[in-house]
Structure 1
Amino acid sequence: MEGGRILFLTVAFATHAAVGIALARGFTGVGPRTGAWMGIVFALLPDADFLFPADWGWPFVHRGITHSPLFALVVVAGVYAVAVGTAGVRRARATALAAALAISSHLLIDALSPMGIQWLFPVRTTWSPGLDVHGVIATTVLWSVSLGILALRTNDLDGVSEWARTDDTSQQRSN
């Protein structure tokens, strides 16, 4: 794999994870650690299709079965069922919502891209407005909105501001 492709995939994966974390933390009742790992895992889950062997063919290809609302629904239902059994109904709802927001964010971002997603899986069809959602401008917007959600709806970034204040204070003392 060439360097440009590796860089593209790294930035795309990081962007999906950042958006997933922001939505899981900003709009559910899950804690910081749970929200972070759920945001990462479920926002990246549709791209597990990169792990499928190429000779498997359709629907086990990139943007196949794992990039469909049906897949997301099955995953979220599974998360809810497991969470009800281990954490009770109230926490299960928050956990399932976190998973739903994270996985849906991935599907929505990719649905806007030129390749689209499998909206009606198992029917093989895609539609997309063809936006450059993994380009520099869109990536910057997605990261900015994600950081804004974390800053406004959680206290997850408080450590960063504390670190910045501490760093400024220590520099002033050394001058």
Structure 2
Amino acid sequence: ASITERFEPAISWDQVARLREIWKGAMVTKGPLGAQDVVRAVELGCDGVYLSNHGGRQLDQVAHPLDLLVAARRAVGRKTTILLDSGIRCGADVAIALACGADYCLVGRPYLYGLAAAGQAGVEFVIGMIAEELGRTLQLLGLAGVADLKAAGEGVVRYGGSPASRPGDTGDFGVLQ
């Protein structure tokens, strides 16, 4: 059977509300496509949202999660957990996501490449490399740690998408200031 036959093609907000009634544990909604969806998820009792375009494989025509992140964070404040993935390849990408409001940044392909190349040792190498790159990025920004990065906010990074664009932005993608 095809994937469309195995899964419900659309989940309604009514279904999310019903799940919240049934499930008393932590609940995160994956795939909101705008700040309004993030607000709606929180209003329905979701503890967090997971911004993702599934690595661009299934939905490469929709906005990148980084394009939604700043508006989503501003819409719900710090009370809601925001997770983000899609296109995270290095420590600088993690820094951008965290500065723009993500609480957690998830990585997919890089560790899978490490796994394919060298098994567990490859995964450990890639995770260590991303952590080292994040540390170096923080040093170059003059920040002592991730808490300082989050406190500095999106003004400390420049991302080529719409949320962190400012007057005078060169439009470089993922270039740190």
TM superposition score normalised by structure 2: 0.25
Computing the radius of gyration over CA atoms, which structure comes out larger, 1 or 2? 1
Of the two structures, which has the highest relative contact order with CA contacts closer than 8 Å and spacing of 6 or more?
Answer: 1
Higher strand proportion: 2
Higher helix proportion: 1
TM superposition score normalised by structure 1: 0.25
